[in-house]
Amino acid sequence: MPANSPPQAPVALITGAGRRFGFTLAKALLAEGYQVFAHYHTSRDGIAELEQLGAVGLAANLADLNQVLALAEQLKQHTQRLDLLVNNASCFFNNATVDDQLDHLTAVLNVHTAAPYLLIRELAPLLRQGQTQQAMVLNITDIYVDSPATDYIAYCAAKAGLANLTQAFAKHLAPHIRVNAIQPGPILFLPEHDSEHRRKVLAQTPLNVEGGLEPMLAAVRFLRDNPYVTGESIKVDGGRALNI
């Protein structure tokens, strides 16, 4: 690149970017000047809006590991470097759902553990070419990785696997790539959560409020912008992990 060429925009891939935190993070990074690749599965709820803002939508079923590998190859066709990989996609299945069909168990384990493993492995060469001070992988885990819920056994185990991957890859990819995690708590209730569920959860949360997505964005910025943090996991939960 000639010395007088303007710096290229940093590049991010976010899985599960079509809604909730993934969507909000994608919009925030676009506003900061990132080139954002927004992964989605079947739902394009927020993808069209992100594309209008300049993002590139990439479709893949992360429960299918061949599609995960294809997603990595798609990204390589679009960019030769990557500054931020966010493994955010999730499928929140309870025991009854997982036990109903083996496909649901496969999805829980692949989406939360196997797919992030493959994406980190396949995209590490692009992360090493990132032009920020240190490229970073950010894994979104859960406060239940430390104290699993008995009605979401497979989900908690898969997220715990992602937490372990965070530490292992932090050691393996240092010093050129940092790997960190965020453990969200009651950030944003789902539409199916009734008032009694919300009251019970907030009663168990010392800060006694639904967090919203801004605290998650603040945690992302802290981990991204602090070059001396790797292998770390930050709870963004209003203190709820203290009571589970």
Question: Which residues lie below 8 Å from residue 50, measured CB to CB, with a gap of 6+?
Answer: 17, 18, 23, 26, 27, 30, 36, 38, 57
3-state secondary structure of 213: coil
155 is a catalytic site residue = yes
DSSP assignment letter at 240:
G
Q: Which backbone phi and psi does 4 adopt, to 5 degrees?
A: -95, 5
Using CA atoms, how far residue 54 sits from 27, 30, 34, 172, 223, in Å, is 10, 7, 9, 33, 24
Question: Which residues lie below 8 Å from residue 111, measured CB to CB, with a gap of 6+?
Answer: 62, 63, 89, 90, 91, 158
Is the bond leading into 175 cis (omega within 30 degrees of zero)? yes
Q: Which of 34, 40, 155, 228 is catalytic?
A: 155
Positions marked catalytic: 155
